[in-house]
Structure 1
Amino acid sequence: MIVGFDYGSANCSVGAWINERVELLPLGLNSNYLPSTLYAMDRELIAEAVYQGLPESQKAEYSHLRSSQLMRAKQIRHELDLLPNEQAVFVGQAAIDAYLDMPEEGFYVRSPKSFLGATGLRADQVALFEDIVTLMMQHVKTIVDKQLQAKSLACASHVIVGRPVNFQGIGGEQSNQQAQAILSLAAKRAGFTAVGFLFEPLAAGMDFEATLTQAAKVLVVDVGGGTTDCSLVNMGPELMGKSQRDTDCLGHSGQRIGGNDLDIALAMEAFMPSFGSKSYMKDDKSVPLSPFWNAVAVNDISAQRDFYHLSTKKLIEELIKDAQQPELLGRLQTMQKNQMSFQVVRQAELAKVALSDVPSCQSQLEFVEKGLCIEVDLAQFEQAITPSLEKVSTLMQQAMATDVNSHDAQPDIVYITGGTARSPAIYQQIAKVYPQAKVVVGDHFGSVTAGLTRWAQYYFKAN
């Protein structure tokens, strides 16, 4: 069976071509989407879980590659008093639930896709991300195969995986190759026999193309959880049946900026003042901002490592001694001691979603301090996300500029998609870049998956 797989920064989803139409397959309870999260009681247990889910033909090679991790996993199980078959690694909503239940004890990863193109990764770090992605893909494929078998269809064997134009703002094509290699290897270890890739904005555009009745030059703006990608594409009903669309793709741009960055920015703007970010020392000097940024930068490995390092613990202790409002910094101390970064940023994400419908909302942070409730309003949100949206505007202009025939022309249509773009404050700002173009706000979550699934039918039949 041929499928499209959107391995997203925020969620995963899979589509199949059933009865001459795209059908998204349920991956969770009453949901077609699985949160892109993983929680392990210990990181060494991830390799063990991957090994258990591998096809028999791959186990010997993998066991050789991960011999030390698999040996340590046995020791960890003994230390944690876990039974041989007791589940110790969780994916999706189960990972979120496990993390919230034991935030200080295990290994939690949110949006692993955001790290795949990171520069300077050591071999052991690349191996860890290979295992994280593999385990998530194994989990998804198991669910998908059960869904397909229930419909008397063959298991998923051929897959087109979505990828951003650029996985990282720095690192260039080397970062892209590293990330795509991790995804490709993980898909094959998960049991897919053939793997292909397609730019996510192009996939989203292909789904939208099915609704067009005439040719148009479309600027697809895909604002996802971890990346924003723009593609300028010639579209129209007469182009849909082509197996190769390279000449119709007039320009691309992309950068690692998305919903995660907006959540972090909102957490910094709306929450961190209550943790002391805008407070002063007794000598009237401002409190340094770096520990606050590091505290909420959950998509930056180095920042999180710095925040939870002993040196930051000592810094916060020193700041509390000489602060005008030590009680505020005490909250930062609690956040650091109990490893609450993801929980805090999660509340910012929930506030972002709520502000799509209301002008203000209350964010409960009682897990930090009893009674701590912070009001967040639309003005704070708009101020927090302005720098990020300016970068999105630049990406749109870059995509247009790469079309040698554009000559500063307007696109006919700006098609906005991606989970982050569901906020009116976001898509209204995007629409201002090309005010004369028709603006269409698409399916925020399903458009990329649907496009990948459509393209997969052409791609594998042509190859």
Structure 2
Amino acid sequence: MKPLSCGIDFGTSNSTIAIDLNGEIRLVPIEQDHVTMPSAIFFQQANNKALYGRVAVRRFFDREPGRFMRSLKRVLGTSLMKQGTLVNGAAMNFGGIITAFLKHLKDGAEAQAGATIDNVVMGRPVHFVDNDPQADEQAQAELRTIAGRLGFKHIEFQFEPIAAAFAHEASISGEKLAIVADLGGGTSDFTVIRLSSRYVNKPDRASDILANTGVRIGGNDFDKALSLAAIMPEIGYRTTYGSKNLEVPLKPFHDLAEWSKVNFLYTPKLIMQTRQLLHESHDKTRYGRLLDVLVRETGHMLLAGAEEAKIALSDVDLYDTQFDFIQEGFGIPVARTLFEEAIADDVRAIETSARACLQAAGVGPEAIELVILTGGSTEVRSVQALFRQLFPKAELADQNKLSSVGLGLGYDSRARF
């Protein structure tokens, strides 16, 4: 029997795995009937047992004691990989934590296949870390090491936007020049590529790929911008204290607005400093909410509120985000106009990267016949408007936003192995 191969999309927000079974590429349902799984882990306080995906998210929001983690992909290539962290009092390194998460995916796929999976194509962003080739190389090396620990005998990598293109290619009639915009939780990546259903099993696609670009901006950055603009001011952000009207330290608020940094805030030192400043605060109600969040370790719930508002504002002009865990009946209305102002610089950076991809490919926007939008962040209204404005004549394909990268990696694994 031919050794089994798979494609793994380890995403900042969601992850998928696709396997090749008897020549058919399909995504594996890894959580009941769900083929996507939130990239989240919850370590129960009682025994440090790890729970994954939707179960992890649910246990955390049910306020079960333990440690919740999201956006682990953003740790790759950074100093945090070596530092590690304390989980319910036990020292853990992030390599081990990411290995455990990806093992859960692989075990689920092997259970479905009834066999060991030897080969993998791992998805990767165009840049794990912007403007730092050494850190970028380090991030891929760390992910390769983790894949080796999982028992994969052959490990290859593919850029995520190229994988998304492969997922759409089978249904294309004729040949089309496409740009793929993959806007995930942590990065926005672009590829200009020639696509045709005739190329589906072509092993070497180098001549069809005209250019790749990417920028380390994604849905998590939108969450952060929205949180700082609309939510953190109600938690004491930019309030003042003392006789000299000094501004309160801003770093705790910025860290509270970033998924990968929240867990590092709950220290006795910061809680003590916040208590001391509260005595001199000119807005004890708002700044007191910061102390409450730190003491009760509810920073992730603040960010979840920002994410919830971001998603809702794709459909409504105003969303009332509820934070009953801070105070009964406490809500913050968030307007889409405020959200769009908050992310304007990020959207401009995404546009710059998309235009750079066209320039590197040596084509103008009018040459693009197909725009493939993938990743949850492409749902944002101002992002949609950007691509419609950039490519007014092109067909827009935006089906399977959360699963096309994983599926495309599965197609790539079949072609390679």
Normalised TM-score (structure 2): 0.89
Q: Distance in 1 between matches of 2:18 and 2:66?
A: 32
Aligned counterpart for 2:223 among listed residues 253, 259, 263: 263
Tell me the residue number matched to 2:293.
335
Q: How does 1:62-461 map to 2 (within 5 A)?
A: 82=47, 88-101=49-62, 106-119=66-79, 121-122=81-82, 128-149=93-114, 154-172=115-133, 174-281=134-241, 286-299=247-260, 301=261, 305=264, 307-310=265-268, 312-403=270-361, 405-406=362-363, 410-460=367-417
Inter-partner Cα distance in structure 1 for 2:84 and 2:336: 43
C-alpha distance in 2 between matches for 1:32 and 1:422: 19
Match of 1:29 in 2: 32
1: CA distance between counterparts of 2:249 and 2:19? 51
Number of corresponding residues: 408
User: Would you tell me which structure has more strand in proportion to its own residues?
Assistant: 2
Question: What is the CA–CA distance in structure 1 between the aligned matches of 2:246 and 2:337, rounded to whole Å?
Answer: 27
Displacement of 1:393 in angstroms is 0.7
Residue identity opposite 2:230 in structure 1? A
Decide whether the 8 Å contact of 1:159 with 1:196 is kept in 2.
yes
Residue in structure 1 matched with residue 88 of structure 2 by the alignment: none
Paired residue for 2:89?
none
Hey, what's the Cα distance between the residues in 2 that align with 1:239 and 1:232?
15
In percent, how many aligned pairs have the same letter? Answer: 28
Q: 1:124 to 1:288 in 2, by over 3 A?
A: closer
| Partners of 2:322 and 2:110 in 1: CA distance | 39
How far residue 209 of structure 1 moved from its aligned partner, in angstroms, is 1.9
Q: Which runs of 5+ in 2 are unaligned?
A: 86-91
Closer/same/farther in 2, CA of residues 333 and 376 from structure 1, 3 Å limit: same
1:167 aligned counterpart, secondary structure = coil
Aligned equivalents of 1:380 and 1:331: distance in 2? 22
* Structure 2: distance between partners of 1:95 and 1:440: 32
Counterpart contact for 2:320–2:332, Cα < 8 Å: yes
Distance in structure 1 (CA, Å) of the matches to 2:23 and 2:120: 18
Range with greater deviation from structure 2 (132-141 or 11-20):
11-20
Q: Distance in 2 between matches of 1:20 and 1:177?
A: 33
Structure 2 counterpart SS, 1:108? strand
Q: For 1:269, give the aligned amino acid.
A: A
User: 1:91-147, CA deviations, whole angstroms, 9 ceiling, x for partnerless residues?
Assistant: 2223223433557x543321211111225753767x822211211121112211222
After superposition, what is the alpha-carbon deviation per residue over 1:400-448, rounded to whole angstroms, capped at 9, x for unaligned? 2222x33676433222111221233432233323444433323211111
Match of 1:5 among 8, 27, 31: 8
2: CA distance, partners of 1:318 / 1:5: 48
Shift of 1:356: 2.3
2:9/2:122 contact within 8 Å kept: yes
Q: 1:212 to 1:391 in 2, by over 3 A?
A: same
3-state DSSP of counterpart to 1:246 = coil
Q: Which residue of 1 aligns with 2:42?
A: 39
In the alignment, is the contact (CA less than 8 A) between 1:157 and 1:193 conserved in 2?
A: yes
Is the 8 Å Cα contact of residues 410 and 436 (structure 1) preserved in structure 2? no
Coordinate RMSD, CA, aligned = 2.6
Deviations along 1:209-255, one digit per CA (max 9) or x if unpaired, are 22221222211110011111111112223433321111211111112
Moved segments of 4+, more than 6 Å = none
Q: What runs of 5+ residues in structure 1 fail to find an aligned partner?
A: 43-79
Corresponding residue SS for 2:324 = coil
How far is the alpha carbon of 1:345 from its aligned partner? 0.5
TM-score by length of 1: 0.81
Q: For residues 169 and 362 of structure 1, what CA distance do their matches in structure 2 show?
A: 35
Give a deviation string over 1:286-323, Cα, whole Å, max 9, x none: 54533321221223x4x864x44555434433442333
Q: Secondary structure at the match of 1:157?
A: strand
Q: Give the stretch that moved more between structures: 135-144 or 11-20.
A: 11-20
Task: Tell whether the 8 Å contact from 2:126 to 2:189 is kept in structure 1 after alignment.
Answer: yes
Q: Name the CA shift for 1:410/1:332 in 2 (closer, same or farther; >3 Å).
A: farther
Change (3 A) 1:278 1:445: same
Displacement of 1:195 in angstroms is 1.7
